[in-house]
């Protein structure tokens, strides 16, 4: 079967759609190298426009031929057309400014590099995710019977954070953390119509839940909704979830901090509290009552 678009006009550098739109609308198969290349471009949009195909391949750690094949696969006439489309997505940062940023990170102290990196990561959030998307995700979860949260590897802190925030607001949750497929499948059996499954999926192979495809397909069959919170690998995930909150950061390959996704997760929890304040207040009151009636400090066993 040939690789196709939902709309072939998306791969038009002069059109209104972004490169990200092109990737999300692509219905063909993306290889592991394709996904690595797409993720690098989405995380480094400003820098990608100044690279040749060979330089881009080297930065993304893929074979040089992958760049040309991906461009044609996505419907572009060639790599120059794809790069021109990416150029239109890039913010107005000149090559000298971009090189200065790289130089500061490469030659500065670890602390300075980390601060610079996190500032860039936070700045990228509003370019990747809108409040409308957060609202849609919150509306999905507030209607759910049970919220199933799935994560692996570096997604563990976010999985625990979302679970805690939801439980404090009176939501019923089920957590599947760092499970192999056999054990995750046992959890998935409990999905029911009207439930929701939240999956954290990141570029690092250990962070993508084993059996992702089967889990999304099963959720759709039983009538449960699916939400994925991801980094720039999000647009390449197949099958697509019902909703995707995908956050890019300029140095995803080097930094494994999940500052952007954590911010999005917290914004989602705050929006949920605003959508159903009575439920949130009841949850907090029940929590405080349990704490008051529990053992005194020092008596816990």
Rounded to whole angstroms, how far apart are CA atoms 85 and 71? 11
pLDDT at position 49: 86
CATH superfamily of 127-290: Glucose-6-phosphate isomerase like protein; domain 1 (3.40.50.10490)
Residues of the chain with CATH 3.40.50.10490: 127-290
The four Cα atoms 128, 74, 203, 191 give a dihedral, to 10 degrees, of 80
52 C-beta neighbours (distance < 10 Å), count? 12
Answer whether 246's CB lies under 8 Å from 129's CB.
yes
Q: What is the pTM of this model?
A: 0.76
Mean pLDDT over each residue of the chain, to the nearest integer? 82
Structure tokens at 230: 């991801």
- Between residues 290 and 37, the one the model is more confident about: 37
Tokens 């192979």 belong to residue = 205
Asked whether the CA dihedral 260, 266, 271, 274 is positive or negative, the reply is: negative
Please compute the mean of the pLDDT values over residues 49-74 and round it to a whole number: 92
Helices 259-275 and 131-142: crossing angle, nearest 10°? Answer: 60
The four Cα atoms 262, 268, 274, 279 give a dihedral, to 10 degrees, of -100
* Of the candidate ranges 18-22, 70-74, 168-172, 292-296, the one whose mean pLDDT is the lowest: 292-296
Residues of the chain with CATH 1.10.10.10: 8-89
Order of strands, edge to edge, in the sheet holding 196-201? 173-177, 147-151, 196-201, 225-230, 243-246
Helices 259-275 and 277-293: crossing angle, nearest 10°? Answer: 100
Q: Please state whether beta strands 225-230 and 196-201 pair in parallel, antiparallel, or not at all (unpaired).
A: parallel
8-89 carries CATH number 3.40.1180.10: no
Answer whether 89's CB lies under 8 Å from 128's CB.
no
Helix, strand, coil percentages for the chain (3-state, nearest 5): 60, 10, 35
pLDDT tens, residue by residue, 234-255: 888 889 999 999 987 765 555 5
CB within 8 Å of 117: residues ≥ 6 apart: 105, 249, 250, 251, 254, 255, 257
One DSSP character per residue, 69-113 reads HHHHHTT-SSHHHHHHHHHHHS-S--HHHHHHHHHHHHHS-HHHH
- Between residues 246 and 118, the one the model is more confident about: 246
pLDDT tens, residue by residue, 67-110: 999 999 999 999 999 999 998 877 534 444 444 455 555 555 67
CB within 8 Å of 103: residues ≥ 6 apart: none
Rounded to whole angstroms, how far apart are CA atoms 232 and 6? 21
């Amino acid at each position: 079967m040939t690789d196709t678009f939902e709309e072939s006009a998306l791969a038009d550098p002069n059109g209104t759609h972004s490169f990200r739109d092109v990737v999300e609308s692509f219905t063909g198969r993306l290889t592991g190298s394709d996904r690595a290349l797409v993720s690098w471009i989405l995380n480094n949009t400003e820098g990608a426009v100044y690279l040749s195909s060979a330089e881009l391949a080297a930065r993304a750690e893929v074979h040089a031929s992958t760049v040309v094949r991906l461009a044609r696969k996505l419907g572009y006439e060639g790599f120059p057309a794809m790069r021109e489309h990416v150029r239109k997505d890039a913010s107005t940062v000149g090559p000298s400014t971009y090189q200065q940023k790289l130089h500061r990170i490469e030659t500065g102290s670890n602390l300075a590099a980390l601060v610079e990196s996190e500032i860039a990561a936070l700045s990228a959030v509003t370019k990747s995710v809108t409040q409308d998307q957060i609202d849609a995700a919150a509306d999905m979860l507030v209607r759910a019977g049970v919220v199933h949260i799935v994560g692996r590897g570096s997604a563990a802190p976010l999985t625990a954070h979302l679970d805690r925030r939801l439980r404090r607001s009176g939501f019923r949750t089920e957590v599947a953390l760092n499970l192999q497929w056999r054990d995750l499948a046992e959890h998935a059996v409990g999905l029911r119509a009207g439930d929701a499954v939240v999956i954290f999926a990141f570029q690092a192979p250990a962070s993508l839940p084993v059996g992702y495809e089967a889990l999304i397909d099963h959720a759709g069959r039983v009538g449960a909704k699916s939400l994925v919170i991801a980094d720039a690998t999000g647009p390449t995930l197949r099958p697509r979830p019902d909703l995707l909150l995908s956050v890019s950061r300029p140095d995803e390959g080097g930094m494994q901090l999940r500052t952007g996704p954590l911010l999005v997760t917290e914004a989602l929890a705050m929006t949920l509290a605003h959508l159903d304040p009575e439920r949130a207040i009841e949850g907090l009151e029940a929590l405080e009552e349990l704490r008051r009636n529990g053992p005194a400090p020092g008596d816990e066993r």
